Amino acid sequence: MTAPGRRLAIDYGRKRIGLALCDGLGISMRPLPPLQSTTLDADLVALKRVVAEEEIVGVVIGLPLQLDGEIGRAAQEVALFAAVLREQLKLPVDEVDERMTTKAAHALMKSAGHRHADRRPRIDSTAAMLILKTWLERRKNAPPG
């Protein structure tokens, strides 16, 4: 089982970076406003601010594997970003298979009655919440040791 502490989930994108948090016990989650991605340096400054303000002890980032499970160009880009985060934040960064999370986030928001125009600004952070949910479930179901 993972040590308690607040986790930050990231749904990385070139235009927007979706963010979500879980509490220290991994019980509740909430989305944060997405970051408008500009440059790597600016993105890192913004993420460092969130990490400090929210007292984050670890990061979970969605790895966009191809449908067949292979690592494509997008997953390589995210893996490089995750490596930079590990170095810059000095925190553990776990990568989680995020296949279909954006599609699931659209379906979830649609079923909650959000109009299409209202979904776009929130879709990335909703996807980050689904990434975090996957990570939490994986940790909960992991054998002790």
Q: For the whole model, what pTM was predicted?
A: 0.83
Close Cβ partners of 31 (under 8 Å, ≥ 6 residues apart):
18, 19, 20, 122, 125, 126, 128, 129
Nearest alpha carbon to residue 25 among 122, 140, 143: 140
What is the rounded distance in angstroms from the CA atom of residue 81 to the CA atom of residue 37?
12
Structure confidence at residue 103 as a pLDDT band (50, 70, 90) = low
Mean pLDDT of 41-55: 96
Band (100; pLDDT cuts 50, 70, 90): low
Q: Where are the domains of the chain?
A: 6-140
Give the homologous superfamily in CATH for domain 6-140.
YqgF/RNase H-like domain (3.30.420.140)
Three-state secondary structure string covering 24-43: CCCCCEEEEEEEECCCHHHH
Residue 9 and residue 125: Cα distance in Å, rounded? 9
C-alpha span between 75 and 142 (Å, rounded): 24
Hey, which bits of the chain come out as E strands? 6-11, 16-22, 29-36, 56-63, 93-97
**CA distances in angstroms from 138 to 4, 75, 99, listed in the order given:** 15, 20, 15
67-72-77 Cα angle (round to 5) = 125
Mean pLDDT of 130-139: 88
Q: What is the mean pLDDT of residues 21-39?
A: 91
Decide if pLDDT at 105 tops 60: no
To the nearest whole percent, how much of the chain has pLDDT over 70? 78
| 14 DSSP 8-state letter | S
Predicted confidence band at 1 (pLDDT cuts at 50, 70, 90)?
very low
In the structure, what pLDDT confidence band is assigned to residue 93 with cuts at 50, 70 and 90? Answer: very high
